[in-house]
Every structure is written in structure tokens, then in C-alpha cells.
Amino acid sequence: MFERAKEAIEKAKRVLLISHVNPDGDALGSSLAMFNSLQITGSKRVRIVNVSDDLPRSYDFLPGFEKISKTFSGGYDLAIAFDCASFDRLGVDKIDAPLIGFDHHPTNEGFADIDINDPSYSSTGELVYDFLKSSGFVIDKNVALCLYSAIVSDTGFFRYENVNSALFKKCSELVELGVDPSYVADMITQRESLAKLRLKAKILDTLTLYLNARVAVVKLTQDMLKSTGAAPSDAEEAANMARSLATVEVGVLLREEPNGDVKVSLRSKRFVDVSKAALIFGGGGHKRAAGFTVKGKDFDTVLKEVLDILKKELA
């Protein structure tokens, strides 16, 4: 698959790079790494797109971030999707070009023409690093910065089970290329806005424990966003905050969308595979981090259904 993808990229003159809606650091970092690497060749027109209304500003230090567009037209020789398990998560109706997919979700639906998906990888960023390195594409300081940021984002700064010695070796190579780990950590974690801190306080006020304090649930409403002036991406760590309690195995965030849908984010510590629960509701993700969206139901109804599933998993 690496060889097929390399040949397709080398032949293409106009390339579209796209990542999933409501992107995290892995989606942004891996796509920007490819963007910067392909820009170096000077022989391709490369456009990077994410159709979300709100991009997390904690990653605005990544080279090329300001080049990310919300829209695109046709006329591409090739499209490359990053960190996306299903086509609908790209937020577009169609892409009129052959599609390569770089991903590491076990729930990936195999929608790409060239499907490069390996759940054994810690992140899509790590997968893209291996591809670029083995295929002979340039990895300079800017590319390395994007890759390293993608990796630390999806591993929680090396806290999760998907971390191993091979990953540390790769990150060491990225540091040798000029990445400053302290700088990356500060940029991602130490630049919170006052609006975001106020939103966190409101979210934590909703925290409720269930199932013998093994599940912690927090909620986010549109009114909370309006009253604080925060952006939806400012709540991306809310489920992790709920999970951090000593007795809790699963943290749950119920988020009200502007159209009334309820988006559910699930995070677990050691035992519960939350991707199983997400799949039941038509979503997906990883063992320790997954999510889905429910239409036409209120918070209480969705919460009851989620708790019924988690009760079985905890048992």
C-alpha cells in the first residue's frame, strides 16, 4: 500500500489533502506534515482542507495552519484523507478524484481507493512518518514538528497504551530534526483562553457519577458556549476531565449540537473498550477513545441508553 500511494502521489499534479470534521491534533498534524512535505517538491499544487467551522487554536503554531481552507472545488488528480474512519466524517458529499486514506482506527470502513489503515499505530501521525520516511519524501524541521505534534496529541503526551519503544525511537528522530518537545507542550497545553477556562468550570458543574462512581458524565449545551464566548473545540478535553477522577473507568461528554443533535464522547482508562459502545450507535473510534452522534433524542434519553451499554461493559 505504501508503494501504491507513493506512485499515485508522485504522478499527481494537483493534490487535495483533507481531514475529518472537528479535527484533533492528529488529524491536523498528519495532514499538515504531508502538506509541508509535498510543498517542498515544488512540482505540485497542494490544497489542504477541513470543512469545520471551528479549528482548535491550540494547533495554530503548526506550519501551514493558516493555509487550511474550509472549501474546495474539483479538478484534483488525487485526494488524501487523514485520520478518518468513514467518508461521511470528512464532511463533504463527494470527492471526484482517486482517494488515499491514512488512518489507524480499528473501526475504519475501508472507503479509500488506497486504504492505508493500521490500528497497531499510535496515531495517524506515526503512520504518515513511516510512509514519508520509507518513500523518500522530505522530512524537514517543519514536517517533523507537525508529525511530533500529531503523535503527542493522540498519545496524550505518551500516557496511553498505544505507546511503545519503537514510537519513542521515532520521536527521538523527530527531535534530532529540530523539534523542541517543551515548545510543543507549551503551545498545545499552556495557551488556554479565559473563555475556555470559564467553559471548563461550567462543564464541571454538570459532573454526575453513575454505576457506583465508575462512570462520570458531563454536559455541554449551546447556552454554555454562548455565555462564555468559548468555541466547541474548547470542550475537547471534557471527557478526559471526567475520566480523571480516581474511581472512574469511563468519562462521558454529552454535547448539544446547534441543530439539536447530541454528540457523545467516550473515554476509558484500562478495561472498557468504548469503541464497542460507539459502534452500537453508529460511531467509532479506539478502545480508550470513541464517539458518536444521536439525532432526535434529548440528553436524558441518550444518557440512559449509554449507561445501559456501559453497565454491561463494566460487568
Return the residue matching grid coordinates 467518508: 87
- The whole-number average pLDDT for the span 135-163 is 96
Q: Which of 160, 189, 218 is the last residue of a domain?
A: 189
Q: Which three cell numbers stand for residue 48?
A: 489542504
Indicate which CATH number applies to the domain containing 298: 3.10.310.30
Same domain, 68 and 217: no
Same domain, 147 and 262: no
Q: Which of 132, 162, 189 is the last residue of a domain?
A: 189
Q: 167-182: per-residue pLDDT in tens?
A: 999 999 999 999 999 9
Same domain, 27 and 155: yes
25 is in which domain, residue-wise? 2-189
Q: 72-90: per-residue pLDDT in tens?
A: 888 899 999 999 999 999 9
Number of structural domains (the chain) is: 2
Same domain, 254 and 138: no
- The whole-number average pLDDT for the span 130-150 is 98
For 74, residues 6+ apart whose C-beta sits below 8 A from its C-beta are 96, 97
Same domain, 207 and 232: yes
Same domain, 151 and 66: yes
Same domain, 273 and 242: yes
Other Cβ atoms within 10 Å of 223 Cβ, number = 10
pLDDT at residue 54 tops 90:
no
Q: 5-53: per-residue pLDDT in tens?
A: 999 999 999 999 999 999 999 999 999 999 999 999 888 999 999 999 8
Same domain, 61 and 120: yes
Q: 189-201: per-residue pLDDT in tens?
A: 999 999 999 999 9
Q: What is the pLDDT of residue 208?
A: 98
Same domain, 234 and 305: yes
Query: What is the DSSP code (8-state) at residue 67?
Result: G
Indicate which CATH number applies to the domain containing 106: 3.90.1640.10
CA distances from 68 to 96, 135, 293 (A): 20, 25, 25
Cα–Cα distance for residue pair 315/154, rounded to 1 Å: 28
pTM of the predicted model as reported, rounded to 2 decimal places: 0.91
Local confidence band at 161 (pLDDT 50, 70, 90 cut-offs) = confident
Local confidence band at 162 (pLDDT 50, 70, 90 cut-offs) = confident
Q: What type of residue is 207?
A: L
Max Cα distance, the chain (Å): 60
Question: In residues, how long is the chain?
Answer: 315
- The dihedral formed by the CA atoms of 18, 23, 27 and 29, expressed in degrees to the nearest 10: 110
Burial of residue 175, with CB atoms counted within 10 A of its CB: 0-12 exposed, 13-18 middle, 19 or more buried: middle
- The whole-number average pLDDT for the span 110-118 is 96
Same domain, 203 and 104: no
Q: What is the pLDDT of residue 42?
A: 81
pLDDT at residue 144 tops 90:
yes
Same domain, 198 and 302: yes
Q: 265-285: per-residue pLDDT in tens?
A: 999 999 999 999 999 999 989
Cα–Cα distance for residue pair 48/126, rounded to 1 Å: 19
- Looking at every residue in the chain, the average pLDDT score rounds to 96
Q: Which of 189, 218, 241 is the last residue of a domain?
A: 189
Same domain, 57 and 93: yes
